[in-house]
């Protein structure tokens, strides 16, 4: 009895504390800042099936896609799969600077969350759809090293993969040519990947509380994260590019990262991505788009190639950033603190002369840097 009453009193005291605490924490954001914060949600974002992929959202294709994603039979030496580089425990990345399959690739393995929200795929946006992006590693000699013909032969001789194919695509593998079979495999892989969606983060709960003016919820979000968020939407201007609910505008920018994967070899970034996109048979304007109306092909039809695309890379989503180290297209930043240091002391001479005028060194104090990192870790 007494015990319970004490507990009750303590709870009440807690409640009062929460209310006073809340008054303090809402004070740190003015009206404009609240609007900016709300623009990073709500989460999750509702998505529809991908019209370019008739398998999108189909349970049988999703299940088959998961088997394919984890199958070593998709690699020439039967030693690796998509899941070798995209490991669930590491946020569907691999935790190393640059992906390593049969050989090392030039870029960091990105996580595979929330793929339905992407307009472009790959750091250079060389694909305009998820199934085309899933074909690339199958054929890349450094990743899975296959050809369409070998892939088809592999599927034919592997009973569970051949049966799965027939069940999902409604026709025996033998009746499809090798290229069609490969595209179908990629569409099942895409259907599976689309189901990898990140849940509500601590930031999302804070944002919901802010929207609902729920003082207890607002107060539960740590103060360093709040201060970091204030920098993110304020003097950091991070949200010009890391925009909206997925913390990316889906486009390409040059933030002054070097782009020489090896001496004498240049990563063309977005410039090479557009070149590749335009000549790909697997783009949304090509014959494998399942949507006869080409309703989602507008970006591909209109994309503009200009010299400024050299050295531009896609703005990555920052969701689950704490899980996806190392960072940047080349994996050259080990920690979020390293990333924040980059923005703080950004080498102006590295920014293209006619490039991003909006970027300049922020010269953050150590305390500000720690706050920004604390915020990024809540995403």
Angle at 10 between CA 9 and CA 13, to 5 degrees: 85
Binding characters for another protein, 187-226, by CB under 8 A (x = yes): ----------------------------------------
CA Rg value for the chain: 23
List 41, 51, 91, 110, residue binding ligand HEC (CB under 6 A): 110
Residue 88: phi, psi to the nearest 5?
Answer: -55, -45
From residue 246, give the alpha-carbon distance in Å to each of 43, 120, 219. 8, 14, 23
List 53, 56, 133, 300, residue binding ligand HEC (CB under 6 A): 133
Tell me if 225 contacts ligand HEC by CB under 6 A.
Answer: no
List 211, 303, 323, 337, residue binding another protein (CB under 8 A): 303
- Spatial distance between the Cα atoms of 199 and 285, rounded to a whole number of angstroms: 33
Stretch touching ligand HEC by CB under 6 A, among 4-12, 76-84, 166-174, 208-216: 76-84
Considering beta carbons, is residue 29 or 313 the nearer one to ligand HEC?
A: 313
Binding characters for ligand HEC, 338-357, by CB under 6 A (x = yes): -xx--x------------x-
Tell me which residue of 51, 50, 54 sits closest to 169, measured CA to CA. 54
State the residue for tokens 């991070």: 238
Given another protein, ligand HEC, none, residue 324, with its beta carbon under 5 to 8 Å by kind, binds ligand HEC
Report 229-248 residues binding another protein (CB under 8 A): 233, 239-241, 243-244
Is residue 103 classed exposed, middle or buried when 0-12, 13-18 and 19+ CB atoms within 10 A define those classes? exposed
- Spatial distance between the Cα atoms of 133 and 112, rounded to a whole number of angstroms: 12
| DSSP bridge pairs for 264 | none
Binding characters for another protein, 2-41, by CB under 8 A (x = yes): ---------------------------------xx--x--
Give the CB-side neighbour count of residue 314, counting CA atoms within 13 A.
23
| Nearest-approach distance from CB 169 to another protein, in angstroms | 33
| Nearest-approach distance from CB 169 to ligand HEC, in angstroms | 17
Residue 327: phi, psi to the nearest 5?
Answer: -115, 165
List 44, 95, 261, 355, residue binding another protein (CB under 8 A): 355
Considering beta carbons, is residue 205 or 237 the nearer one to ligand HEC?
A: 237
- Spatial distance between the Cα atoms of 65 and 69, rounded to a whole number of angstroms: 6
Considering beta carbons, is residue 93 or 256 the nearer one to another protein?
A: 256
List 183, 313, 368, 378, residue binding ligand HEC (CB under 6 A): 313
List 61, 64, 107, 371, residue binding ligand HEC (CB under 6 A): 107
CA 65 remoteness from chain centre: 19
Number of residues engaging another protein in binding (CB under 8 A): 26
Is-contact 303 291, C-beta < 8 A? no
Tokens of 377: 């870790």
3-state secondary structure 54-114: CCCCCHHHHHHHHHHHCCHHHCCCCCCCHHHHCEHHHCCECCCCCCECCCECCCCCCCCCC
> Which residues contribute to the site for another protein (CB under 8 A)?
35-36, 39, 233, 239-241, 243-244, 249-252, 298-299, 301-304, 306, 308, 354-358
> Which residues contribute to the site for ligand HEC (CB under 6 A)?
74, 80, 82, 84-86, 99-101, 105, 107, 109-110, 112, 115, 118, 121-124, 130, 133-134, 137-138, 143-144, 189, 193, 232, 236-238, 240-242, 253, 255, 257, 313, 315-316, 318, 321, 324, 327-329, 336, 339-340, 343, 356, 358-359, 372, 376
């Amino acid at each position: 009895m007494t015990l319970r009453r004490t507990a009750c009193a303590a709870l009440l005291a807690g409640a009062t504390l929460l209310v006073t605490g809340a008054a303090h924490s809402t004070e740190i954001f003015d009206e404009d800042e609240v609007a900016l914060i709300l623009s990073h949600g709500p989460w999750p974002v509702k998505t529809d099936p991908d019209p370019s992929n008739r398998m999108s959202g189909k349970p049988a294709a999703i299940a088959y896609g998961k088997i394919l994603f984890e199958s070593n039979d998709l690699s020439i030496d039967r030693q690796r799969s998509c899941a070798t580089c995209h490991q669930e425990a590491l946020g569907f990345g691999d935790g190393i600077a640059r992906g390593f399959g049969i050989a090392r690739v030039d870029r960091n393995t990105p996580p595979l969350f929330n793929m339905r929200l992407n307009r472009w795929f790959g750091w250079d946006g060389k694909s305009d759809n998820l199934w085309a992006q899933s074909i690339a590693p199958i054929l890349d000699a450094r990743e899975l090293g296959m050809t369409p013909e070998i892939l088809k032969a592999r599927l034919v001789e592997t009973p569970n993969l051949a049966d799965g194919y027939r069940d999902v695509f409604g026709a025996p593998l033998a009746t499809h040519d090798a290229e069609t079979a490969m595209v179908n495999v990629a569409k099942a892989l895409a259907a599976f990947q689309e189901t990898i969606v990140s849940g509500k983060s601590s930031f999302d709960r804070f944002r919901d509380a802010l929207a609902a003016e729920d003082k207890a919820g607002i107060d539960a979000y740590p103060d360093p994260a709040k201060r970091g968020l204030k920098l993110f939407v304020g003097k950091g201007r991070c949200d010009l590019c890391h925009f909206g609910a997925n913390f990316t505008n889906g486009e390409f920018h040059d933030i002054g990262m070097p782009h020489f994967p090896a001496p004498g070899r240049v990563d063309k970034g977005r410039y090479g991505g557009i070149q590749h996109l335009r000549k790909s048979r697997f783009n949304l304007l090509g014959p494998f788009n399942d949507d006869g109306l080409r309703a989602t092909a507008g970006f591909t039809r209109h994309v503009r190639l200009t010299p400024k695309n050299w050295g531009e890379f896609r703005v990555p989503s920052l969701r689950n950033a704490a899980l996806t180290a190392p960072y940047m297209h080349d994996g050259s930043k080990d920690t979020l603190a390293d990333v924040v240091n980059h923005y703080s002391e950004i080498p102006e001479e590295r920014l293209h002369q006619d490039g991003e005028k909006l970027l300049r060194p922020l010269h953050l104090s150590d305390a500000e840097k720690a706050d920004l990192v604390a915020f990024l870790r809540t995403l």
